[in-house]
Amino acid sequence: MERLLILRLGSMGDIIHTLPAAAALRRAFPDAILGWAVEERWAELLCAPGAGGAPAGSLQKPLVDGLHFINTVAWRAALFSGETWKEASAALAALRAAQYEAVVDFQGAWKSAAIAWWSGARRIGFEQPRESPATLFYDRRVLALSTHVAQQNLELASAVTGRQETAMSFPLPCDPAAEAWREQELRRRGIAEYALLSPGAGWGAKVWSLQSYGEVARALAAGGLPALVNFGPGEEALARAVQQASDGAAQPVRCSLGELIALARRARLCIGGDSGPLHLAAALGVPVVGIYGPTDPARNGPVGSAAIVLRSPESATSYAHHDRTDAGLLSILTGEVMAAARRLLEGTHG
C-alpha cells in the first residue's frame, strides 16, 4: 500500500474517535502517503496551522501527509453560488488526481461513500454503515461487531492492515503558538490549575442545565479549582449563562480549535456532555465527567482517560438532532457531578 486515503469529514468527536484507527493504518504502512479527506473547520485536529509542509510524524502534523478539504456543510449552505461550485470542483479534482490506491470510509454516509467512489480508489467501508445506501459504493464491506464507534473504526482498520488492531492512541498535533497562547492567557487570568467546562453540544437535547453548570463552577472554585468555560461558534450565550449562574466563578474562554487542544491538554478535569471538547480532553488523557442524555455512552462514551459517565435510566437512546429537553438528562443533580469530579481529582474512581 503506497497511497491510502482516510475519509471522515467531521465532526470533532467523530474525528477523534477515528484517530486510533488512522494511527493503526500509519503503523501498518509507515512509508505510505496517508491522506485525510475532512472539512476544513476540523483541520487543526490533524495539522497545526501553517504546518502543512511539515513531515508526517512531526509534533505539528503527527499522522497524515496531506489533507483534502471537502467542505460539504458550507457547500450545501451556498448551493447555488458559482464560487461554491468552483471550490467543490477543484477539491474533488485534486482528490481524484492524488491517485490513491484505497480509501477507507469511516463515516458511512452516502455522501462520504460517493466521495470515496469519485476518488477512483478501491473503496472499503462498513457492512452496516450509518446510512445503508453507502454500501452500494464499496468494493469491500466489513462487519463491525463492537459497540463503541472507536472500536468499530479499529475493526475497519484491522480489515485493511490484516492484523488485529486494539491500541487506543490519539495522535493530536501540538502547536507551539497555541501552547504559548495558553500560557499567556493563564497568566493574564492569574490561573495555574483549572477545570474545563464544556456546556455546548451538537444539538440541544444533549445540553445539561446551564444553571447546574454554574453551580458546579461555584463548587469547584470553593475547592480551589477555577473553571474555564469553552464555547464554540454560536455558543456565546451558553457560556455567558453559565458565567452568570456561577456568580462569576466560571470564566468563558474564546479560542480556536488548536488553542482548545492546548487548553484541554493542561486541564486537571473536564466536565461536559457528549460533545467534541469532552472527547478531546479524554483523548489527551484528562479525567472527564460525562453528562449523558439521549446518546448511549456504550457507543459514544469518552475514550482515552479516566472517565465517569452519568446517565439517568429515564433517558431513552436517540440520535435525532433536535432541541427538545431530555428529562433524564436534566434529572442529573449537581451533587452527583461534583461527587464524580472529586473522585477523579482524588484518584479514587476505580
Give me the amino acid identity at 253.
V
**pLDDT mean across residues, the chain:** 96
Q: How many CB atoms lie within 10 A of CB 19?
A: 25
Query: Quick check: 345 and 267 in contact, CB under 8 A?
Result: no
Cα separation, 211 vs 1, whole angstroms: 53
Phi, then psi, of 124 in degrees rounded to 5: -125, 130
Report the b/e string of 284-317 with b at 16+ CB within 10 A: bebbbbbbbbbbbbebbbbbbbbbbbbbbeebee
As a dihedral over the C-alpha atoms of residue 214, residue 178, residue 303, residue 296, rounded to 10 degrees, the angle is: 50
**In the predicted structure, residue 232 carries a pLDDT above the cut 60:** yes
Residue 291, pLDDT above cutoff 60: yes
Interval 242-277: pLDDT, tens: 999 999 999 999 999 999 999 999 999 999 999 999
User: Quick one: cell of 208?
Assistant: 445539561
pLDDT in tens, 62-79: 999 999 999 999 999 998
pLDDT value at residue 347? 87
Residues 6 or more apart in contact with residue 302 via CB below 8 angstroms: 278, 279, 281, 282, 288, 290, 309
What letter would DSSP give residue 79?
A: T
| Sign of CA pseudo-dihedral 309, 315, 319, 325 | negative
Distance CA 185, CA 187 (A): 5
What structural domains does the chain harbor? 3-161 (3.40.50.2000), 176-346 (3.40.50.2000)
